[in-house]
Amino acid sequence: MLELFRAFILIFIAEMGDKTQILAMSFATRFPVKKVLLGIFLGSLLNHGLAVLLGSYIAEFVPVNVMAIIAGVIFIGFALWTLKTEGDNEEAEEPKISYGPVVTVALAFFIGEFGDKTQLAVITLATDATYPAGILAGAVLGMIVTGAIGIIVGKKLGHKIPEKAIQLVAASVFMLFGLIKLYEALPAKYLTMPNVFIFLGVLAILVAVILKKKAKRA
């Protein structure tokens, strides 16, 4: 349950305001809500199922401790990536409708998330998961809930929630996951006060530079 909850929270926050949530809103204006949600479920299950399989496969050949360190670095990278993203909601292009509502939505979500940071996050979570099925269930549930929010209240509340605030929350979650991973996985001899201060200082400078550039473009 802990792994399910962790995956759910991570995916839920990462997907809020993302292009796939906007896509869910768009599909809901043309298809029945139940069919849109079913399509999201199928597309997410295929996409994140592949990610969990890949993550579990990698874990068989790479030591868990090494993977945890890599995972921590990747999550911190996701945090910086999220901050750097312009966040224009990347209006997703919809595929031509020719397979019926459920299949069309499923294909859109499978392709839309392929190679995206969310899929990479699921791969990372799966590398040290005791119960990969929990990661998959949490990731799919997170996609469904964010899709449902996009369908039901996204149009009414989306313009009232500052996009920068959503980005900051998502980046903070990724950063927190990354720092916790590194703290748990790195050998104690590396976790000295000077090393920690230098690392956090460099990280703070990177964040400040990214935020400064975003402020200039605003």
Q: How far is 216 from 86, CA to CA, in rounded Å?
A: 12
pLDDT band at 166 (very low <50, low <70, confident <90, very high): low
Specify the higher pLDDT residue, 21 or 191: 191
- Quote the pLDDT of residue 88: 44
Q: Categorize the per-residue pLDDT at 125 as very low, low, confident or very high, splitting at 50, 70 and 90.
A: confident
Q: Which amino acid would we find at residue 152? A: I
Q: Is the pLDDT of residue 99 over 70?
A: no
Residue 29 to residue 27: CA distance in whole angstroms: 5
Phi, psi at 163, each rounded to 5°: -65, -35
What values do phi and psi take at 94, rounded to 5? Answer: -85, 140
Q: Mean pLDDT score of the chain, rounded to an integer?
A: 81
Cβ–Cβ contacts within 10 Å for residue 124, how many? 27
Q: How many CA atoms lie within 13 A of 193 on its CB side?
A: 0
- Cα angle: 72, vertex 78, 81; to 5 degrees: 145
Tell me if 43 sits within 8 A of 146, measured CB to CB.
no
More confident residue, 5 or 129: 5
pLDDT over 70 for what percent of the chain?
A: 84
Confidence band, pLDDT 50/70/90 cuts, at residue 162: low
| pLDDT at 144 (0 to 100) | 92
Whether 66 has a pLDDT exceeding 50, the answer reads yes
Q: How many residues does the chain have?
A: 218
Q: What is the mean pLDDT of residues 21-50?
A: 85
Q: Which of the four pLDDT bands, split at 50, 70 and 90, describes residue 218?
A: low
59 vs 56, 175, 188, 218, CA distance in Å?
A: 5, 22, 23, 42
